[in-house]
């Protein structure tokens, strides 16, 4: 019985390590669920795609955004983000600005056991994203 238990524990440890070794996929679009302390507004749609060549882009809710990025192991940083200049409802514009500011604060990433991508600032809560199918 003990060898079977040890084998099971070993399999669990290897499965846990597999997720931590995963990288955000190039070309995969991730949909934002939370920005730090707050969930997204109802029916808003924010995304992030890393192209594998140092360019990131997506929807900021109202406008399209773009920035350079550097990925090195679990370290991730974004350059100054730019965006299109369409005007939307004030609450949506505020959320968009929070998102773009939060991207500039990102220092590292992780993928949870459930497959959620989290982008972490030096302090505070992460930006949480799910891969789109």
| CATH code of 57's domain | 2.40.128.270
pLDDT of 5 higher than 60: no
Q: Is residue 18 part of a domain?
A: no
Number of domains observed in the structure of the chain: 1
Quick one: which of 94, 92, 132, 98 has its CA closest to 115? 132
As a whole number, the mean pLDDT across the chain is 88
CB atoms within 10 A of CB 39: 11
Task: At 82, list the tokens.
Answer: 């730019």
pLDDT score of 16 more than 60: no
Q: How far is CA 110 from CA 9, 37, 74, in A?
A: 23, 18, 7
Q: What is the pTM of this model?
A: 0.81
In-domain check, residue 110: yes
- Are the beta carbons of 81 and 68 closer than 8 angstroms? no
| Domain limits for position 127 | 24-131
Q: Is residue 118 part of a domain?
A: yes
pLDDT of residue 22: 74
| CB proximity list for 100: less than 8 A, separation 6 or greater | 60, 65, 81, 83
Tokens representing 122 are: 């030096």
Q: How far apart are CA 110 and CA 100, in angstroms?
A: 19
Digit-coded pLDDT (tens) for 36-91: 999 999 889 999 999 999 999 999 999 999 999 999 999 999 999 999 999 999 99
For residue 41, count other CB atoms closer than 10 A to its CB.
14
Q: What value does the mean pLDDT take over residues 105-109?
A: 98
């Amino acid at each position: 019985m003990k060898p079977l238990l040890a084998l099971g524990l070993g399999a669990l440890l290897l499965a846990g390590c597999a997720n931590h070794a995963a990288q955000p996929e190039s070309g995969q679009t991730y949909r934002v669920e939370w920005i730090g302390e707050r969930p997204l507004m109802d029916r808003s749609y924010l995304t992030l795609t890393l192209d594998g060549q140092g360019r990131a882009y997506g929807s900021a809710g109202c406008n399209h955004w773009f920035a350079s990025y550097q990925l090195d192991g679990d370290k991730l940083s974004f350059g100054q983000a730019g965006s299109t200049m369409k005007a939307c409802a004030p609450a949506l514009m505020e959320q968009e600005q929070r998102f773009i500011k939060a991207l500039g604060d990102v220092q590292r990433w992780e993928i949870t056991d459930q497959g959620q991508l989290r982008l972490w600032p030096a302090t505070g809560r992460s930006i949480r994203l799910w891969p789109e199918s």
